[in-house]
Structure 1
Amino acid sequence: MQKFFLAAALFSLLFNSCKTDFDITSDWEDISVIYGLLDPTDTAQYIKINKAFLDKNTSALVIAKIPDSLYYQNLNVQLQQYLNGVFVKTIEMNQVDGNLEGFIKDTGIFANQPNYLYKTKEILDQNSSYKLLLTQAEDGKEVSASTEIINDFAVVRPTTFTKVNFFPGGVYKTQWNSAKDGKIYALTIRFFYKEVSFADTTLSQEKYLDWPIFSSLPSISTIGGQSMETDIDGDAFYTYVNSHLSEDPSVFRISEYFNFMFSVGGEEMDLYNQVTLAQQGLTSGSAQPEYTNVENGLGLFSSRFHKTIFNVPIDVHTIDSLACGQVTTHLRFINSVGDLCF
């Protein structure tokens, strides 16, 4: 029985092929696997590039530990910038060890040292598209993929000037306008609080909880400017806090503020999500399709955008509900006048 090993399986890049067809059962076919999400809000861009291959005679578990089997030795990696379809410039990407860049690769079946990535610190233009081009030095084989860059967008609600109230039994409505070239949206609310020692109130520690609200909300199109909104269940906030904090008699807690952290993914990411959901309905004996937007290779190349509304104030009713409500009173949050409720 042939043993198929996909070197970039850690990124779950077995997607449905929409442009490029491969016979993944042929012997020793060199298949490049790419994972890259360009982000104009980040200070550096990283692309993951691996090999996929077949071997009739060697266990995949053995090959997985050999770095030379996972990475190309001589690979030229470039980003080509286009504005309104017109070529602007070429950006060279340099090979780096992700372990030294702060992206520590987990131990497991794959070799974790080195963890090669391709990097550039070039500032991305939100109005441009970018083509990733890989050229192998040995035979000149080219692999490519393209994506639009997601633009900035407006968050209507909340703002840093309006207090958020997760009223028990009610809902809080957050609103924003969709981003140009953005398709799929996620929101996480970061709740900041302080823990103060009962024994010595000069001893305190700043902490936070990340509360996921939604992770795959699509816009109608990628044109941008669509009015989008979602209702957040007020009761869910107290349930989440209760399930993620433990009672600690040695401290009391002070509610501080929220950060609303929006993330946007490109159209390719939305297609990937759709294919993944479709695969969940396949029986175990079905041949699962593969998605890729990479020409002459496999993988996902898209863009993303992060936008955070910082320091959103908390309404006194939410502060008091945390302190005095039945679900969270045992967690010893103080109320809006600085008292405990038990």
Structure 2
Amino acid sequence: MKRISLSILVVISFFIVGCETEVELNDDYEFNSYVFCLLDQNADTQFVRVNRAFLGSNSADDMVKYEDSINYKSGDLNVEIIDEGNVIRLEGDLVSKEAGYFNNSDYIVYYTTAPITFSSADKLYELRVTNNLTGEVITGKTSLIDNLTLNDPNPNFDVSFIRNCSEEGYCFGRSFTINWRSSENAVKYEVTLRLVYDEIDLSTNDTIVGKYFDFYVGANSNTRANSGTVMTVDFSPELFYTVIGRSVETPPNTVKRLPRVEVLIAAAHEDLSLYIDATKPSNDINQNKPSYSNLSNGIGLFSSRNYRNVAQKQLPFNPQSIQKLIESDLTKHLNFRTN
């Protein structure tokens, strides 16, 4: 039996995930296509990646070294997104690939800056990839995910990671909760708290505005994929300060000011959630995993996500939380200042 092997590097939520899939086929020598696209109405550019999946009598080790085994050439494909009858034709752009196991020739990524808009949970976008050499057409459809509503922390107030301890003054809060309402079509949610600050070089008085560090909070799921369900994730404020203290760099002769946070939530469409589950590493002895594709006449995924700062602005630390940054043994070496 011959084996088809393919590999693609994709961005899921705000992580880079390497996905490797193997599919066994009995057919004679042929090429298949692997397509990956995630629509996000909050992104200024939408991308589509199309690769060849090779099948032949030579070993996979030999075939991955040849460009035409895994990449299409300019002009081979016509890639379009259809928005209620409006056809958006995507442009191709060459992307450089680092040297590695696979052929490292430049490959084409298709993109459009045309706006992608959410009007209802039932509205469908269609992806159409036409092979100009064979006439074969790959299609897929997806709906979008509406923007989420953040309940807590309240965007109208400064954030507090501190509680009042009568004997000790101010100490870390026992827990910090992020609370939002689910959106239709979304199943998986991943939450990141982004610490944003300004850094000043005291020798030159130059200021770098908007340096940041991302703290992964956690994930939650809503298998019903409905809207309005209250979703929460919690974390320890003391752990947050601990990770900041261990991870944020402090160049010599610098101070930091104006700490604030963004609440970043990535919501994954049901199809994307199924794809993630099908491609994640298996911890079982049985390594034969089911594959997942929602495309017609091709392999891969056309789905959507919604990724943005759900607070819609940067939320300042309250004075007590800033003072804890300055005085705590966990973070005092970072040189945060109030002015």
Counterpart of 1:244 in structure 2 is: 247
Rounded to whole Å, the distance in 2 between the matches of 1:262 and 1:69 is 34
2 CA distance for matches of 1:137 and 1:205?
49
Measured after TM superposition, the shift of residue 169 of structure 1 is 4.4
Deviation at 1:226, TM superposition (A): 1.3
Unaligned runs of 5+ in 1: 17-21, 82-87
1:9 partnered with 2:11? no
User: Could you state the TM-score of these two structures normalised by the residue count of structure 2?
Assistant: 0.82
| SS class of match (1:235) | helix
What is the root-mean-square deviation of aligned Cα atoms in Å?
Answer: 2.7
Distance 1:59 1:220 in 2: 38
- Alpha-carbon deviations, 1:279-322, whole Å to 9, x = none? 52232x63333222222221121101122122211111211111
Could you say which structure has the greater relative contact order, defined with CA pairs below 8 angstroms and 6 or more residues apart? 1
Letter in 1 for 2:241: Y
Native 8 Å contact 2:2 2:24 kept in 1: no
Given candidates 269, 272, 276, the residue that maps to 2:275 is 272
1:138 to 133, 139, 153: 133
C-alpha deviation, 1:48, in angstroms: 0.5
Report matched runs for 1:156-195 at 5 Å.
156-167=151-162, 168-195=172-199
Secondary structure, counterpart of 2:98 in structure 1: coil
Unaligned ranges ≥5, structure 2: 11-17, 163-171
Kindly indicate whether the alpha-carbon contact (under 8 Å) linking 1:97 and 1:114 is maintained by their aligned counterparts in 2.
Answer: no
Note if contact 2:19-2:279 (Cα within 8 Å) is conserved in structure 1.
no
8 Å contact kept, 1:3–1:56: no
Give the counterpart of 1:327 among 315, 330, 334: 330
For the residues of structure 2 that align with 1:298 and 1:36, how far apart are their CA atoms? 12
Identity %: 24
Task: List per-residue Cα deviations over 1:169-210 (Å, max 9, x = no partner).
Answer: 42121111111222211222221223334445x233332211
Distance 1:330 1:138 in 2: 61
Residue deviations 1:17-64 (CA, integer Å, cap 9, x gap) = xxxxx7435332321101100111122221111110123225535543
Change in Cα spacing, 1:158 to 1:112, as seen in structure 2 (3 Å) is: farther
3-state SS of the aligned residue for 1:268?
helix
Match of 2:50 in 1: 49
Matched, 1:208 2:200: no
Structure 1 residues 196 and 119: CA distance shift in structure 2, 3 A: closer
2:220 aligned to 214, 217, 221, which one? Answer: 217
Q: Kindly tell me the number of residue pairs found equivalent between the two proteins.
A: 316
Q: Structure 1 length normalisation: TM-score? A: 0.82
- Which letter maps to 1:319? I
Question: Separation in 1 of the partners of 2:242 and 2:30?
Answer: 52
Q: Which residue of 2 aligns with 1:84?
A: none
Find the aligned partners of 1:236 and 1:52 in 2 and give their Cα distance: 44
Pair 38,160 (structure 1): closer, same or farther in 2 beyond 3 Å: same
Distance (Å, rounded) in 1 between the aligned partners of 2:24 and 2:69 = 23
Indicate conservation of the 8 Å contact 1:181/1:222, yes or no.
yes
Q: How far apart, in 2, do the equivalents of 1:273 and 1:139 lie?
A: 31
- 8 Å contact 1:14–1:290 — kept in the other structure? no
Equivalent residue of 1:272, what SS? Answer: helix
Distance across 2 between alignment mates of 1:122 and 1:246: 38
Of Structure 1 and Structure 2, the greater strand share is in: 2
Q: Is the 8 A contact 1:190 1:261 kept in 2?
A: yes
Task: Answer yes or no: is the 8 Å Cα contact 1:38–1:149 preserved in 2.
Answer: yes
3-state secondary structure, aligned to 1:48 = strand
What secondary structure sits across from 1:10 in the alignment? Answer: strand
Cα distance in 1 for residues equivalent to 2:282 and 2:222: 23
Rounded Cα–Cα distance in structure 1 between residues aligned with 2:66 and 2:134: 26
1:231 Cα deviation after fit: 1.6
Name 2:116's counterpart in structure 1. 124
Q: Which amino acid aligns with 2:306?
A: F
AA of the residue aligned to 2:5: F
Q: Is the 8 A contact 2:37 2:303 kept in 1?
A: yes
